[in-house]
């Protein structure tokens, strides 16, 4: 999220109206409902986890044990178990 100065982007009348509610404070203005990105879409985290989980499932189907997968992916036994038995 990028910081912007209100007096540089808002019309003066809107700025004065906002100052009646909050003056000298930081406020968060959420994105419009249709414009929001899902979790991890901007950074690529969501795609990374999807591919990692596919790899875990593939190795499990090929015979790797949950213990072997916990070592290979540095995840807990329960985390691997959830991944391989989901879907």
Would you say residue 78 has pLDDT above 90?
Answer: yes
The whole-angstrom separation of Cα 57 and Cα 53 is 6
Average pLDDT rounded to a whole number, residues 64-82: 97
Average pLDDT in the 57-62 region?
97
Q: How far apart are CA 59 and CA 14, in angstroms?
A: 58
- Please tell me the distance from the alpha carbon of residue 46 to that of residue 71, in angstroms, as a whole number: 22
pLDDT of amino acid 1? 65
Q: 38 vs 48, 56, 59, 69, 71, CA distance in Å?
A: 14, 23, 28, 28, 30
Supply the pTM of this predicted model: 0.60
Q: What's the average model confidence in pLDDT over 53-76?
A: 97
The rounded distance, in Å, linking the Cα atoms of 51 and 47 is 6
């Amino acid at each position: 999220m990028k910081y912007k100065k209100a007096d540089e982007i808002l019309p003066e009348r809107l700025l004065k109206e906002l100052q009646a509610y909050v003056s000298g404070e930081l406020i968060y203005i959420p994105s419009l409902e249709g414009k929001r990105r899902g979790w991890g879409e901007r950074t690529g985290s969501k795609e990374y986890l999807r591919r990692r989980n596919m790899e875990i499932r593939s190795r499990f189907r090929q015979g790797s044990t949950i213990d072997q997968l916990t070592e290979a992916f540095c995840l807990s036994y329960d985390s691997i178990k959830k991944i391989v038995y989901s879907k």
